[in-house]
Chains A and B, each alone.
Chain A
Amino acid sequence: MNRPIKILTLLLALAAALALVACGGSDDEESTVSGQFELVADAPSGYEGLTGEAELDRTESGTEATIQLTGLMPDAEYVAHVHAASCDQPDPGGPHYKFDPNGSDEPPNEIHFMFTSSADGEGEAEASNDQRIPDGDAGSIVVHSAEEEGEAMKNGEAMEHGGGEHSHSHSDKIACAELEGGTAPEEAATDEGEAMKHEGDPMEHGDDAMKHEGGGTTIVVRNGDPVGGVQELEYSAGDQVEFTVRSDVADEIHVHGYDLMKDVEAGGSASFSFPADLEGIFEVELEESGTQIAELRVNP
Chain B
Amino acid sequence: MSWLPLAHALAARQDLPIPAWLFAWGASIVLIVSFFALSVGWREPRFEGDRWRPLGAGLSRALLGLPMQVLCGAIGVFLLGLAVYAGLRGTEAPDRNFALTFVFVTCWLGFPLFSVLLGDVFRPFNPWRAIGRLVGRGFAALAGQQPSHLRYPQRLGRWPAAIGLVAVVWLEVVYGVSGGVSVGLSPHAAAVAALVYSAYTLTMMGLFGTEQWCRNGEVFSVYFGMFSQLGCFAVEDGRLGRRRPLAAATHWASVPGSAAVVIASIATTSFDGASEGAFLGALEWTFERFTDADLGLTLALRLTDTIFIGLCVAGVALVYLIGVWGMSTVSGAPPLRKLWNGFAHTLIPIAFAYLVAHYFSLFVFQEQAQFTYLLSDPLGTGSTDLFGTASSGIDFQLLSANAIWYVQVAALVVGHVVALTLAHDRATAYWGDYRQAARSQYWMLAVMVAFTCFGLYLLSVANA
**CA of A149 to CA of B32 in the docked complex: distance in angstroms?**
63
A: residues with CB less than 8 A from B are 1, 5-6, 9-10, 12-14, 16-18, 20-21, 23-25, 230, 237, 256-257, 259, 277-283, 290, 292, 297-300
Interface 1/0 per residue, B123-166 and A, CB below 8 Å: 00000000000000000000000000000000000000000000
Closest chain B residue to A12 by CB distance? B35
Closest chain B residue to A278 by CB distance? B396
Q: Known contacts A1-B39, A280-B15, A281-B13: does B438 contact A300 (CB below 8 Å)? A: no
Shortest beta-carbon distance from B369 to chain A in Å? 12
A24 touching B23 by the CB < 8 A rule? yes
Chain B residues near A13 (CB-CB < 8 A): 31-32, 34-36
Chain B residues near A237 (CB-CB < 8 A): 401
**CA of A95 to CA of B20 in the docked complex: distance in angstroms?**
36
B396 touching A280 by the CB < 8 A rule? yes
Which of B29, B36, B393 interacts with A10 by CB under 8 Å? B36
B: residues with CB less than 8 A from A are 2, 8, 12-16, 20-21, 23-25, 27-29, 31-32, 34-36, 38-39, 183, 361, 393, 396-397, 400-402, 435, 438, 463
**A21, A277, A298, most chain B CB atoms within 10 A:** A21
**CA of A237 to CA of B15 in the docked complex: distance in angstroms?**
14
Chain B residues near A281 (CB-CB < 8 A): 13-16, 463
**CA of A283 to CA of B12 in the docked complex: distance in angstroms?**
7
**CA of A24 to CA of B323 in the docked complex: distance in angstroms?**
27
**CA of A181 to CA of B13 in the docked complex: distance in angstroms?**
31
A-B contact pairs, 26 of them (CB 8 A): A6-B39, A12-B35, A13-B35, A13-B36, A14-B32, A16-B28, A17-B27, A17-B32, A18-B28, A20-B27, A20-B31, A21-B28, A24-B20, A24-B23, A24-B24, A230-B2, A237-B401, A259-B12, A279-B401, A280-B14, A281-B14, A283-B12, A290-B183, A292-B2, A297-B16, A299-B401
**CA of A17 to CA of B31 in the docked complex: distance in angstroms?**
7
B12 touching A21 by the CB < 8 A rule? no
Closest chain B residue to A16 by CB distance? B31
B402 touching A10 by the CB < 8 A rule? no
**CA of A290 to CA of B25 in the docked complex: distance in angstroms?**
40
A256 touching B12 by the CB < 8 A rule? yes
**CA of A281 to CA of B276 in the docked complex: distance in angstroms?**
12
Shortest beta-carbon distance from B140 to chain A in Å? 52
**CA of A290 to CA of B182 in the docked complex: distance in angstroms?**
12
**CA of A292 to CA of B32 in the docked complex: distance in angstroms?**
43
Closest chain A residue to B453 by CB distance? A20
Q: Known contacts A256-B13, A278-B397: does B38 contact A24 (CB below 8 Å)? A: no
Chain B residues near A21 (CB-CB < 8 A): 24-25, 28
**CA of A286 to CA of B407 in the docked complex: distance in angstroms?**
33
Closest chain A residue to B39 by CB distance? A6
**B20, B28, B183, B463, most chain A CB atoms within 10 A:** B28
Q: Which 7 pairs between the two chains have the least Cβ-Cβ distance? A: A256-B12, A17-B28, A24-B24, A13-B35, A279-B401, A281-B14, A278-B396
Closest chain B residue to A22 by CB distance? B24
Closest chain B residue to A256 by CB distance? B12
Shortest beta-carbon distance from B21 to chain A in Å? 7
B28 touching A279 by the CB < 8 A rule? no
Closest chain A residue to B7 by CB distance? A281
B15 touching A9 by the CB < 8 A rule? no
B393 touching A259 by the CB < 8 A rule? yes
Shortest beta-carbon distance from B436 to chain A in Å? 12
B21 touching A279 by the CB < 8 A rule? no
A300 touching B402 by the CB < 8 A rule? yes
Chain B residues near A6 (CB-CB < 8 A): 39
Chain A residues near B29 (CB-CB < 8 A): 17
**CA of A24 to CA of B22 in the docked complex: distance in angstroms?**
10
Shortest beta-carbon distance from B405 to chain A in Å? 9
**CA of A237 to CA of B397 in the docked complex: distance in angstroms?**
11
Shortest beta-carbon distance from A163 to chain B in Å? 40
**CA of A283 to CA of B10 in the docked complex: distance in angstroms?**
12
A282 touching B32 by the CB < 8 A rule? no
Chain B residues near A24 (CB-CB < 8 A): 20-21, 23-24
Chain B residues near A259 (CB-CB < 8 A): 12, 393
Closest chain A residue to B8 by CB distance? A283
